[in-house]
C-alpha cells in the first residue's frame, strides 16, 4: 500500500479537527477510568494505589527523574507528586537520591521491586491490548503506531502558544 506524502491542507485540518479532538478526548477518558486502572492492577497482581502506578511507570520509563519534571510530564501538581513519590519510596518501589550535578535536587529512580511491578503492569497491559486489537490488520495497527508517534512528536516539538 502506498502512503501519500502530500501535505494536509488547512481546510481539511479544520474540517476534521473536531473529530480528532473528540477521539482523543474519548481515548483519554476511557484510559483514565478508575475501573480500567483497577482491572489493570488486578491483572498485574498488584495492590498498588491507583494514583501511584502512573508515577511508578513514569519513573521507570523516564528515570532517573526529578519530581518537578515528573509532575510536568503527567500534568499534576508538584507538591502532590512529591508526596506520592515519597509513598512509592516507603513501599520500596523507588528511591530518591541527590542529583549528581545539584545536591539540592533529588531525583527518583526505580528499584528492583519497582521494576518487577512495572514489568507486571506491562504484561497486563499487553494482554489487554492484544484482546482489544485482535481484529485489526497488521497494516492498520502499524499505521496507528506510526501516526501516533508522529503526532506526539509534533506536539512535543511545537512551541507553547500564549493564550
Compute the CA torsion angle 80, 124, 152, 106 (nearest 10 deg).
30
Give residue-wise pLDDT tens across range 102-142: 888 889 999 999 999 999 999 999 999 999 999 999 999 99
Angle at which helix 67-74 crosses helix 78-90, to 10 degrees, equals 110
- Side-chain half-sphere exposure of 38, counting CA atoms within 13 A: 3
pLDDT of residue 161: 66
Contact 81, 67 (CB under 8 A): yes
Give the phi and the psi of residue 138 in degrees, each rounded to 5. Answer: -60, -45
DSSP string, the chain: -----PPPPHHHHHHHHHHHHHHHHHHHHHHT-HHHHHHHHHHHT----TTTHHHHHHHHHH-SEEHHHHHHHHT--HHHHHHHHHHHHHTTSEEEEEETTEEEEEEEEE-HHHHHHHHHHHHHHHHHHHHHTTTS-HHHHHHHHHHHHHHHHHHHHSPPPP-
pLDDT tens, position by position, for the chain (163 residues)? 555 556 767 888 889 999 999 999 999 888 888 898 899 999 999 999 988 988 999 999 998 999 989 998 888 899 999 999 999 999 999 999 988 788 888 899 999 999 999 999 999 999 999 999 999 999 999 999 999 999 999 988 988 765 5
Q: Are 64 and 108 in contact (CB under 8 A)?
A: yes
* pTM score, whole prediction: 0.78
Q: Is the peptide bond before 64 cis (omega within 30 degrees of 0)?
A: yes
Amino acid at each position: 500500500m502506498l502512503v501519500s506524502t502530500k501535505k494536509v491542507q488547512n481546510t481539511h485540518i479544520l474540517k476534521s479537527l473536531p473529530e480528532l479532538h473528540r477521539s482523543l478526548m474519548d481515548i483519554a477518558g476511557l484510559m483514565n477510568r478508575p475501573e480500567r486502572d483497577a482491572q489493570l492492577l488486578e491483572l498485574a497482581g498488584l495492590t498498588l494505589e491507583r494514583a501511584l502506578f502512573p508515577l511508578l511507570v513514569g519513573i521507570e520509563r523516564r528515570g532517573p527523574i526529578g519530581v518537578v519534571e515528573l509532575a510536568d510530564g503527567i500534568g499534576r501538581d508538584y507538591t502532590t507528586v512529591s508526596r506520592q513519590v515519597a509513598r512509592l519510596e516507603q513501599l520500596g518501589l523507588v528511591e530518591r537520591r541527590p542529583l549528581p550535578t545539584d545536591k539540592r535536587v533529588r531525583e527518583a529512580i526505580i528499584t528492583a521491586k519497582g521494576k518487577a511491578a512495572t514489568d507486571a503492569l506491562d504484561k497486563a497491559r499487553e494482554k489487554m491490548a492484544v484482546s482489544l486489537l485482535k481484529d485489526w490488520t497488521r497494516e492498520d495497527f502499524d499505521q496507528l503506531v506510526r501516526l501516533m508517534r508522529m503526532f506526539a512528536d509534533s506536539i512535543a516539538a511545537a512551541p507553547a502558544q500564549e493564550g
